[in-house]
């Protein structure tokens, strides 16, 4: 299915009360050595396509939430941007590099590439404790999937974990869908957190 990395089509369901969330697919890829974070992500972003393909676009838009967690997005670009600006003169800094100084640039890039127009969010947090790192994104994810979806229409969300640093730079993408209500979202958030933290820890 994938050109490289580890990709899986899954239908692992987590059920709590009347709520069901399912891990539809996941993908783990090493990030290539590249001159910038932008270049590293853009080198692999097309390989995410199968993870988004399960949700068709409607009028050119793909409805769902896109949540990104990273420990270092933007940091290297910011340092290099300023280094280059000092070298070239402040009036000659790279305007194209500036947006990548912001940690949400990867989320914006993925949203644009796959036309995801729902909520997006980026957390910057150390991966030292992977369960802790995924606490907040998993809680949001469960809320996005469960809240107000009483009508039974599945809601979609993608979670992306990114590490650009020198040691083992890599990306993981998970596609979740679900229906349910807010009452179960806490328990489901914990279950989602445990699953993605385990995946992140075991696929290094």
56 binds other proteins (CB under 8 A): no
For residue 125, what are its two tokens? 């947090």
Closest CA to 175 of 70, 39, 21: 21
117 binds other proteins (CB under 8 A): yes
Pairing assessment for the beta strands 155-163 and 170-179 based on DSSP bridges? antiparallel
When the beta carbons of 25 and 66 are compared against other proteins, the nearer one is: 66
141 binds other proteins (CB under 8 A): no
For residue 129, what are its two tokens? 């404790």
Beta carbons of 159 and 144 less than 8 angstroms apart = no
CA distance 46 to 62: 16
5 binds other proteins (CB under 8 A): no
Segment contacting other proteins by CB under 8 A, of 18-26, 40-48, 74-82, 171-179: 74-82
CA distance 73 to 103: 5
CB atoms under 10 Å from CB of 62, counted, come to 19
Q: How many residues bind other proteins (CB under 8 A)?
A: 55
Closest CA to 117 of 161, 154, 66, 155: 66
When the beta carbons of 8 and 113 are compared against other proteins, the nearer one is: 113
Segment contacting other proteins by CB under 8 A, of 2-10, 48-56, 71-79, 168-176: 71-79
50 binds other proteins (CB under 8 A): no
When the beta carbons of 10 and 49 are compared against other proteins, the nearer one is: 49
Instruction: Give, as ranges, the residues between 164 and 183 that touch other proteins (CB under 8 A).
Output: 182
93 binds other proteins (CB under 8 A): yes
19 binds other proteins (CB under 8 A): no
């Amino acid at each position: 299915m994938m050109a490289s990395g580890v990709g899986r089509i899954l239908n692992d369901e987590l059920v709590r009360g009347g709520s069901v969330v399912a891990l539809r697919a996941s993908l783990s890829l090493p990030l290539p050595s590249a001159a910038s974070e932008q270049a590293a992500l853009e080198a692999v972003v097309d390989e995410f396509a199968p993870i988004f393909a399960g949700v068709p676009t409607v009028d050119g838009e793909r409805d769902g939430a896109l949540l990104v967690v990273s420990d270092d997005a933007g940091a290297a670009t910011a340092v290099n941007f300023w280094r280059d600006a000092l070298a070239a003169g402040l009036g000659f800094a790279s305007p194209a590099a500036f947006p990548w100084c912001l940690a949400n640039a990867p989320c914006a890039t993925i949203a644009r590439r796959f036309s995801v127009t729902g909520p997006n969010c980026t957390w910057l947090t150390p991966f030292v404790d992977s369960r802790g790192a995924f606490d907040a994104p998993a809680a949001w994810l469960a809320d996005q999937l469960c809240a107000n979806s009483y009508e039974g229409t599945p809601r979609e969300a993608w979670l992306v974990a990114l590490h650009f640093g020198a040691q083992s730079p890599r990306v993981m993408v998970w596609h979740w869908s679900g229906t349910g209500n807010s009452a179960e979202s806490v328990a489901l958030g914990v279950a989602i957190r445990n699953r993605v933290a385990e995946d992140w820890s075991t696929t290094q």
